[in-house]
A and B are shown apart, each in its own frame.
Chain A
Amino acid sequence: MKSLLVLLCWAIAARAAAVDGAQLLRKVDRNLEPESYEMYRKLINVEPDGSRKEFVLYSVKKGHDKLVALFLDPPSERDRATLRLGDNLWLYIPNVGKPVRITSLQSVIGGVFNNADILRLDYAAEYDVEATQEAPDAYVLSLKAKTAEVAYDKLTMRVDKKTALPLTIECYAASGLLIKTLRFKDVKDFGGGVRRPATIETDSPLHKGYLSIMLYAKIRARAMPDEVFTLSYLPRSKELR
């Protein structure tokens, strides 16, 4: 009986080891979005008293480190745009009239969303896989940030075995403190081979009673010239839609 148990454990461990965590993470990235894409997102902050504030964003991304996010709503944020080139980050506010370089941890809007939520690059670009474990219906990836520039030091990502899409992601600070949990819901076919969760709900033990929801629409592959991801183009990023 004992040897049977050892054999079983060995078989499970061998199967888990057979899963290449880094390869799986790259697959998760590609299943979530094409490498170069455009998409619309609605961010909803719900407060404990039920009041809510919504933001609508249009984003374009190219390759592994170029991203522009443009605010379309509410009116007070309209045409505010952010450019990310690797660890370089700029914020364009229409009234100010010029892009201003900001630190990568500077929040571009108020509320519980931070830059990691709004300006996320591929997970594989920002994280290394430290360990891969296997549960009955999911793989569990333990991810470690490649640099201190990344907002969350460690992630625990549960990946659905059948679809290779994330189910939940727990985000931890370097101290080991759980900062927030992302729950991926409502898998939907966006066309063009993109089938992924259309809703991400976020809650945080640090903000009890608060809920953040991100809705996705019109995710599609799009090729763009590199010059779209420059300070010169940033004030005109609304023309990309």
Chain B
Amino acid sequence: MKCRAAVLVSLLAAVPTPGQEPFDVSGYEKKAFEWKGWAELRPEEQFLRRDSVGYLLQFPGETRTTLERANAAAEISGTLRYESLSADFTGHASYLRDSQGQDGDARLYEAYAGWHPGSRSGLEIGKRSLRWGKGYAFSPVAFLERPKDPTDPELSREGFVMAVAELVRSFGGPLQTLALTAVALPTTWGLNPDFGPSGDVDVAVKVYGLLLDTDVDVLYKAPGSQAQRFGADFSRNLGSNLEIHGEWALTTDAPRVVITEGNTLAKELRSSSSYLLGLRYLTERETTLILEYFHGGSGYTETEIQRFFDLVKASANDPALSDLVARAATQGYNRPNAMRNYVYARIAQNEPFDILYFTPSLTAIVNADEGSFSIIPEVLYTGFKSLELRLRVAVNRGESSTEYGEKPVASRVELRARYFF
């Protein structure tokens, strides 16, 4: 009996209590090659709106009212280093299966070589994802990027092939940091075919300053494969719980596809300005509010979008219009947030009821021109070591002939389980 007690005591003594185990950092020190990644499964149920314009476009001739989808995706990124040289990559693969069929895709989101002789300068060449702007859901000054999805702004996005040079200096006094970024993005030699017409090199410059505790960027993109653009943005804390930000962009002589009164597709050149104003506010109860107002100067007016909706409805009875509808949809009318004025609001509560790593949130995107909206309640749990669970519902609502009222999906439920490694 004594012997058993002694064994038990020694076993208990051998179990380290939290904090007593050695903290070995050798596994966390920099290595010549490092990589990481994630894989996710995302089952989804969509409840469809048969009388909507979006349904006519996406499910022509069908009668289904629901759609079950199984999504899977994986992403791996890595860095290889040798002294001041480095090579970075991010590979992304996705797979989708539903009752309409299946589809898979694999591509490099980023793959570039870098030379950083010190902390003050750097040169990177290859496929690169730039992220310009201060907006959370929208970014009018994101001149060299693929559009952000406002319903999920933190999703990674594919980059473009480019060369990026950067110089940075720090100072004492009111100007604490000054940084110059220059970018060249070619559409020659078959590069970047989805950026714009081929045969040009788009050059852009960004000057950043941390001035009087305010982030300020001034941006310019010379005419090239895409139109000339000027821009500026700022971000500043107005207290320990309030941040404000804004962006402004002017685009000159940009082509814009519109449906004419005679039901033809016309390309017009026009200059327009877009802007965004936003804030991030944290309450004493750790509720975070993100609020943004976005005006897109090149967006469609209510009359213009109405003409598109009418055309789609007419094409259901007149197949001759199908080609025109398809071209109008792909050349602008069917892009996300294709109209002019939007309000984005997100409220997230950090760990309510003392439930650690649990964040419920509610996101709303409202079309401020005609009042239709999308509401996205969500719960996120990150309490497992490498697994993140997210359950979200999206509800699109609006009158007939409004943006969210004509979406094919009335509501949708999805569960995302993402495993990190």
Contact = CB atoms under 8 A, between A and B. Distances in A.
B285 to A, nearest CB: 12
B170 interface: yes
Contacts of A239: 30, 81, 86, 116
A101 interface: yes
B23 A215 contact: yes
A207 interface: yes
A87 B237 CA distance: 9
B359 interface: yes
Interface stretch (B196-204, B267-275, B382-390, B395-403): B382-390
Contact of B208 (A73, A85, A231): A231
A85 B210 contact: yes
A110 B359 contact: yes
A93 B119 contact: no
A123 to B, nearest CB: 18
Nearest to A42: B23
Nearest to B31: A241
B208 A101 contact: no
B120 interface: yes
Interface string B1-41: 00000000000000000110001110011100010101000
A79 B357 CA distance: 19
B263 interface: no
Nearest to A148: B240
A97 B179 contact: no
A211 interface: yes
Nearest to A229: B170
Contacts of B357: 53, 110-111
Interface in B225-283: 235-237, 239-243, 245, 280-282
Given A86-B213, A225-B120, A231 B356 contact: no
A177 to B, nearest CB: 12
B36 A232 contact: no
Contacts of A52: 18
B210 A40 contact: no
Contacts of B134: 100-101
10 contacts: A40-B28, A47-B356, A53-B357, A96-B153, A98-B133, A102-B280, A103-B241, A103-B242, A103-B282, A110-B350
Given A72-B28, A96-B153, A110-B350, 7 more contacts: A53-B385, A93-B154, A96-B131, A101-B215, A148-B240, A149-B239, A238-B79
